[in-house]
Structure 1
Amino acid sequence: MNVSYQADADLNQAIVTGVLRREPTIDFQTALAAGLEGLKDSEVLAKAAQQGRILVSHDRKTMPLEFAEFITSNHSAGVIIVSQKLPVEVVIEELLIIWAISSAQEWVDRIAKLPL
């Protein structure tokens, strides 16, 4: 099964746009399309998990702790934390590589930080 992504509300939209421009067949849902604005981290994790999407977020302060708590009683498709200091082009390339060489099953209940 292919990796699909869910952008968190705090994710730079240029990342989503750039990924989809480079590879239009990637399933990368925006926060707006998912209705994530104003939701708590636990609710965002639940929505992404329900749809089997890896959550991509800049939130390195609260999301890792929320994720650790979430997976004690639920399964997640995974979380990728992206440093805001990384150039957008690097983030795009890393997400494309993850999509191309890994399967969705490899990301279940896993959290990673970019760059890998």
Structure 2
Amino acid sequence: MLSLLSDENFNGDIVRGLRLRQPSLDLLRVQDVGLREIDDPAILAWAADNERILLTHDRATMPDFAYERLVRKEPMPGMFVINDRMPIRQAIDELLLLVDCSEQAEWKDVVLYLPL
């Protein structure tokens, strides 16, 4: 199972839907781990230190920070960038497909844009 971390502004309805559909899901929110209002590089560093794939809607800056980590040869456990215009049900379905059908190591150093 994948270990996930949702960004501060990630849609709470998606988080709730994921947890309802898969109660055993290993998903933390930035708010749950004391990272509220922390800058993006610090969130990515925490995700790397804790081996969690980041869920974000932030297409503007977050992927660039992830690629900067890769250029500096710093760990980056993966990032799923979910289009914020994507229907909630579709986002939940696609994320659960990734959770159920892949392994954590497959997403190391990968930035994946959803929808698939």
Q: In the alignment, residue 52 of structure 1 is paired with which amino acid?
A: E
Distance in structure 2 (CA, Å) of the matches to 1:30 and 1:65: 21
Structure 1 residue 40 displacement after superposition: 1.0
Structure 1 residue 38 displacement after superposition: 1.2
Aligned twin of 1:57: 56
- Say yes or no: does 1:40 pair with 2:39: yes
- Say yes or no: does 1:87 pair with 2:71: no
Per the alignment, in what secondary structure is the counterpart of residue 37 of structure 1?
coil
Distance in structure 2 (CA, Å) of the matches to 1:34 and 1:91: 23
Runs of 4+ in 1 over 3 A off after TM superposition: none
Q: CA RMSD in A?
A: 0.9
Aligned twin of 1:105: 105
Q: In the alignment, residue 61 of structure 1 is paired with which amino acid?
A: A
Distance in structure 1 (CA, Å) of the matches to 2:94 and 2:37: 28
Q: In the alignment, residue 3 of structure 2 is paired with which amino acid?
A: S
Contact 1:7–1:57, Cα closer than 8 Å, also in 2 = yes
Structure 1: 5+ residue stretches without partners: none
Percent of matched pairs sharing the same residue: 34
Q: In the alignment, residue 51 of structure 1 is paired with which amino acid?
A: N
TM-score relative to the length of structure 1: 0.95
Distance in structure 1 (CA, Å) of the matches to 2:110 and 2:61: 16
TM-score relative to the length of structure 2: 0.95
Aligned twin of 2:20: 21
Structure 1 residue 58 displacement after superposition: 0.5
Aligned twin of 1:66: 65
Distance in structure 1 (CA, Å) of the matches to 2:20 and 2:80: 20
Aligned length: 115
